[in-house]
Amino acid sequence: MAIEPGIVDAVTAFKADGDPRSFEIDASLVFGPGFPAFEGHFPGNPILPGIIQLASVRVLASMFLKRPLVSSSLSNIKFRDMIRPGQEVKVRLCGAEKGQGWKVRFEINGVHNSISSGSMVLMPCGNASGESGAGTCMGEA
């Protein structure tokens, strides 16, 4: 299973308000034990890699904006706790247009704990002239 479709499959609830200029998304996700990012991270003690948490925020924004996105910058990223297989997490993100992309602030929380938070700038894959943008869009995190 590819990572990005696996993230979409992990979404159990999705609520979005706003428009492409300014939006808020609240989602719940559960990454099952068969989610491929748990393989090798770590054998016998699986946790969801931080990069997959960041990819989940990007995927949720892509779902709302109905276009593929790539992260062009990250700031104030904090990983405070782990996500285990089968654990439900709540993701809240707020986005606003910034230039040709969107600045997104996010929080990922468990039932009783803050798991991660931060900000990222998301850009459409490629730019208006059709040239490659910051990063690539290959359909996977």
Local confidence band at 131 (pLDDT 50, 70, 90 cut-offs): very low
Count, residues in the chain: 141
CATH superfamily for 3-124 is Hotdog Thioesterase (3.10.129.10)
The whole-model pTM stands at: 0.89
> 3-class SS at 40?
coil
Kindly list the domain boundaries of the chain, sorted by start residue. 3-124
Q: Give the β-pairing of 69-79 and 88-98.
A: unpaired
Q: CA 19 → CA 34, 95, 135, distances in Å?
A: 34, 10, 25
Strands (E) in the chain, as ranges, are 11-19, 22-30, 69-79, 88-98, 101-109, 114-124
pLDDT single digits (tens) 34-81: 999 998 888 889 999 999 999 999 999 999 999 999 999 999 999 999
For residue 141 the two structure tokens come to: 């995190």
Q: Which residue's entry shows tokens 């468990």?
A: 110
